[in-house]
Amino acid sequence: MGAMREAVARIKSFFAKEERDADLEAELETHLELAVEDNMREGMSAEEAKRQALIRFGGVQQAREQQRVARGLPWLDVLLQDLRYTLRTLGRERAFTIVAVLILGLGIGANVAVFSVVDTVLLRPLPFAQPQQLVRILSKNMKGGESTATFSTDAVQEIQDRNKSFQSITGYFAFSGPDNLKLMGNGQPKPVTELDVMGNFFTTLGVQPILGRLFTLEETLQHSRPVVVLSYNFWKRQYGGKPEVVGQVIRLNDVPVTVIGVLPDTFDFGSVFSPGARMDMFGPVIPQDIREEGNTIALVGRLKPGVTMAQGQAEADLIFPKLEFNVQHPEYGSAYTARFLELKDFVSGKLRRSLIVLWCAVGMILLIVCVNLSNLLLSRAAARSKEFALRSALGAGRGRLVRQLLTESFVLSSAGALLGLAIAWSLAAYLAHQGSIALPLLSSVRIDGIALTWTVLIAMTTALIFGLVPGMKIAAGNLQDGLKDGGHGSGTGAKRERLRSTLVISEVALACILLVGAGLLLRSFMKVLDVDLGFEPSRAAAISVDMKPIPRTADRKTFETIQWAQWQEVVHRAEALPGVEAAGIADSLPMSRNRSWGVSVKGREYKKDELEATFVYIVSPGYMRAMGLHVLKGRDFTWEDGPSSDGAILINETIAKHLFPGEDPLGRMVQAGGDDKRVIGVVADMRETSAEGDAGWQMYLPASQDGPEGAQLVIRTKLPQAALSATLMTMLRQINPDQPAVELKPIQNLVDHATSPRRFFVYLVSVFAALGLFLAALGIYGVISYSVTQRTQEIGIRMALGATMARVKWDVIATTLKLAAIGIVLGTVGSIAASHLISSLLFGTESTDPVTFLAMVLVLGTVALLAGYVPARRASRIDPMVALRNN
Amino acid sequence: MPDSRPDSKLDLLQGTLELMVLQTLATMGSLHGYGIARRIEQVSGDEVLINQGTIYASLVRLQQRGWISAVWGTSDNNRKAKYYAITAEGLGQLAKDSAYWLRLASVMERVLAMPKEGDV
């Protein structure tokens, strides 16, 4: 109780310093006056009385000091004093301060930015209620893209009915393309992206609308009353965030649809389930409508509380073989299998290693920053040894001096942290708006409380690390040496230089590891960019075509005839445009939507798992040329392959090799999509989902035989694509006045999107490596430059004794190269040890790639040479007379 | 071993000055800093090594613990002075501390008066 009261009183006094001091002064004055009076009463002279009073009192200054210590917060006083002193010193040495804060700011900023990405993507739970219960239900065999990762509506129904491990199972239609609907209304139709989800999708995830409501059971069963809920961003963008939109009827394509709700800002479907995709609105999946379309539903389940993934998986392994489809079609083997993946793992599992590598890289930068600052502070401490010696002689304890140094490093570190936060904040804001980088959750990257805590933590750790090295030197060294004429060439000087050299060597070694890592990733990236995709994205571009609606009453044959004619008109008119070399239509493009069907040789029996799911493209004549795909054998489609002709098919090389080994596939009959088709040609393999992946099975069908929904017009041109965009739009509007305003997008965009995560990592790691290289160069320069300054006198003498300029220059450069060489050797060993961490991220590159290592040695060597050359030149220009006289 | 030379003075043990201040205020009533210092000097018969200035740190400590209170007043010869008085809590503390000191002193006395072995 007393201690508590004393603490409060001390804090109060601390802030009422002047008042308390005035009180004390008044008391002291009275005290001395009374004492003098007493003494005079005893018969002393005035002067003697005063003298005696002061003697009995003891030191007045001491009494003041004692009272201050007793009443206030002495440690805080000292701290503030240290701080004031530090700020004064740093203010005086502005160049040093700016360099140190910049280096720290870069290091801390990079760390906080990467931390916030790692935190968002890996550490933070998904933005759903109890996200650990959420499971992505996949198939064990997923070679055929989305089609093998999804389930038919019948299968979904059965799984929902039979399972006992899940509270609920839900899903969404996995094949919604971007801009799949047009919003009609004032003026030109506007393209919107709509996605159908199962009725219980949002409730299963635990997402509540901020306005209106979610789907009712009735609305998910039939089409009678079409409804949508809007995404937050679309609501803001299209309706200015007005709440009145709920309940309004809008027109999508030609259908009136009621807006029933608005989803919260925190729900970003794209960033969780389909990185880089923008979703505008969600409607209910109507099972009857897509029943015949095969596997279309991506499944997500919420486990019951207390049920583990393993239990769920065990149950699924029992249930799935008994699914109706599996029982009725034994020839497909078990088409439906289940592989459970925690939703979080599904979203970001693949990125874990990349992000950890990034984290390590940025951690190394921080280490290099620490080493660099230790070095800077060390040379400063050397320069200040006289000051320290003086302060020590005046009674400052060693502890006090070390504390002073630590205060300095904490002040520097805090300033660096502030700068770093600003850097990280802008980086995070920039990343959050990079829709083109296909990284999940990126849109929610931000500097939050945890990132702030992390900043404080690394700033403090950094300050400790780089502050302690010079601090320990002070603690261990003989302070009085500082007073003895600078101590040039004395034992401590040499020891200090050795320490500095060690620091530089470790800096070089760290930079070396970073360079090798970045080099390997960069080489992999080059290899990825170099991959023969099978198509030629350059000079090709695509635009979404909105076809005139075909009456629902049309039977399949009529439908196909109308559609084929529409496509022909679009392609012919596009081909006729000036500057267009080739044009063609496809229902989907590689590296965007991927779905697969089955294909087999007609009349042949296949064993289980002998066939692979086959990616299918429904295309028009001209598409192959427009896309730059090569027909290797046989012929391309013509307009003759229309609805009235026999079914024709083009297969890729991989299919030809598997289905017709050693035979000529041309003219052979296959079954694809349930119909008989004749193989008319073989097309070169192309990369379907990514540049790194295998080609897989691919086939092409003409639109005359399977009516697709979407249509992408692909054109090949030498003209700048922007120039063609308006012309194409006019042409499309002439054919269909309802054609929404869409952009002509380079095919290269699709490839870039697919390689964007790799590009992102390579870019960041390269930036870090460059930063590390720069800091290492700075370190080398600092050390060599310092040693030249220290040895001015010695060099002067040597030159006076006849050493040539070249000789002096070479000596300095040799020292530099020696340091760099040791660092490079250590770094190479470290790189070999560390490279296994990134080996799984490499593509077409060995982790011991000699080119990378050689390049690293060359780059580091050159940079070291440059960093050492400047001081070497200075050394060689030392005028012996001036050097000697100055001493 | 206490030095018995008359010119040497006693160093104060930790906390003793505070106890002396409390006792002085308890017996003398309200006093200013100079008065307290003089009184202690007089009672100790000038045996204690004390700088009068030291008293002010003790006064602050006692005040912060709530054992004494202070008010500004006027001294006999019309000077502005700060008067200290012991509080009820201070009286309690004084009782506790003095009991402790007396016990300790008697124990010390007995221990130091211990006869040599063989003298028994």
Query: Per residue in A476-524, pLDDT tens?
Result: 655 555 555 444 444 456 677 788 888 889 999 999 999 999 999 999 9
Same domain, A668 and A695: yes
Residue listed under structure tokens 């001493």: A887
B20 to chain A, any CB pair closer than 8 A? The answer is no
In a domain, B8, yes or no: no
B81 to chain A, any CB pair closer than 8 A? The answer is yes
Same domain, A296 and A434: no
In a domain, B4, yes or no: no
Of the candidates A709, A739, A769, which is a domain's last residue?
A739
B56, B65, B67, best to mutate vs chain A, most A CBs in 10 Å: B56
CB contact under 8 A, B79 and A33: yes
In a domain, A542, yes or no: no
Taking the CA of residue A27 and the nearest CA in chain B, the distance in Å comes to 6
Of the candidates A739, A765, A800, which is a domain's last residue?
A739
Q: Which of A5, A28, A58 sits opposite B54 (nearest CB)?
A: A58
Strand partners, B31: B84
- The two structure tokens encoding residue A329: 């079609």
Of the candidates A72, A90, A107, which is a domain's last residue?
A72
B21, B60, B76, B93, best to mutate vs chain A, most A CBs in 10 Å: B60
B49 to chain A, any CB pair closer than 8 A? The answer is no
Q: Which of B56, B64, B81 sits opposite A63 (nearest CB)?
A: B56
B82 to chain A, any CB pair closer than 8 A? The answer is yes
In a domain, B7, yes or no: no
CB contact under 8 A, A56 and B51: yes
Nearest Cα residue to A543 out of A754, A366, A710 = A710
Q: Output the pLDDT for position A647.
A: 87
In a domain, B40, yes or no: yes
Q: A372 with A103: CB under 8 angstroms?
A: yes
Please tell me whether residue A574 adopts helix, strand or coil conformation. Answer: helix
In a domain, B9, yes or no: no
Please list every residue in chain A whose beta carbon sits closer than 8 Å to the beta carbon of residue B61.
Answer: 6, 70-71
Please list every residue in chain B whose beta carbon sits closer than 8 Å to the beta carbon of residue A61.
Answer: none
- Give the contacts of A576 (CB within 8 A, at least 6 positions apart): none
In a domain, A746, yes or no: no
Q: Output the pLDDT for position A487.
A: 43
Q: A546 with A738: CB under 8 angstroms?
A: yes
B80 to chain A, any CB pair closer than 8 A? The answer is yes
Domain count, chain A: 4
B9, B18, B52, B78, best to mutate vs chain A, most A CBs in 10 Å: B52
Q: In B, residues 23-42, which contact A (CB 8 Å cutoff)?
A: 32-35, 37-38
Distance CA A27, CA A31 (A): 6
Q: Which helix (H) or strand (E) holds B81?
A: strand B80-86
In a domain, B100, yes or no: yes
Q: Output the pLDDT for position B4.
A: 42
CATH number where B106 lies: 1.10.10.10
Averaged pLDDT score across all residues of chain A: 87
Same domain, A516 and A604: no
Q: A444 with A268: CB under 8 angstroms?
A: yes
Same domain, A180 and A318: yes
Structural domain for B62, as ranges: 14-113
DSSP-derived secondary structure letter, A70? H
- Count residue pairs from A and B with Cβ separation < 8 A: 83
Q: A386 with A789: CB under 8 angstroms?
A: no
Structural domain for A670, as ranges: 547-739
Distance CA A427, CA A103 (A): 17
- Give the contacts of A69 (CB within 8 A, at least 6 positions apart): B57
Nearest Cα residue to A713 out of A469, A547, A865 = A547
Same domain, A709 and A836: no
CB contact under 8 A, A30 and B32: yes
Same domain, A711 and A617: yes
B78 to chain A, any CB pair closer than 8 A? The answer is no
Q: A756 with A276: CB under 8 angstroms?
A: yes
Residue listed under structure tokens 């690293």: A856
Nearest Cα residue to A466 out of A506, A437, A419 = A506
B58 to chain A, any CB pair closer than 8 A? The answer is yes
Q: Output the pLDDT for position B3.
A: 43
Distance CA A596, CA A798 (A): 80
Q: Which of A23, A24, A31 sits opposite B34 (nearest CB)?
A: A31
DSSP-derived secondary structure letter, A603? T
CB contact under 8 A, A58 and B52: yes
Full 3-state SS string of A455-483? HHHHHHHHHHHHHHHHHHHHHHCCHHHHH
Please list every residue in chain B whose beta carbon sits closer than 8 Å to the beta carbon of residue A67.
Answer: 56-57, 60
Q: B47 with B68: CB under 8 angstroms?
A: no
In a domain, A507, yes or no: yes
Same domain, A42 and A161: no
Q: Output the pLDDT for position A862.
A: 93
In a domain, A196, yes or no: yes
CB contact under 8 A, B51 and A59: yes
pTM metric for this prediction:
0.80
Same domain, A735 and A761: no
Same domain, A586 and A637: yes
Nearest Cα residue to A780 out of A872, A857, A864 = A864
Residues in chain A with pLDDT values less than 70: 1-2, 142, 223, 395-396, 473-494, 704-709, 886-887
Q: Output the pLDDT for position A653.
A: 94
In a domain, B62, yes or no: yes
Domain count, chain B: 1
ipTM: 0.86
Same domain, A636 and A725: yes
pLDDT at B2 > cutoff 50: no
In a domain, A307, yes or no: yes
In a domain, B119, yes or no: no
Same domain, A173 and A296: yes
Taking the CA of residue B1 and the nearest CA in chain A, the distance in Å comes to 27
Nearest Cα residue to A368 out of A773, A740, A761 = A773
Same domain, A378 and A404: yes
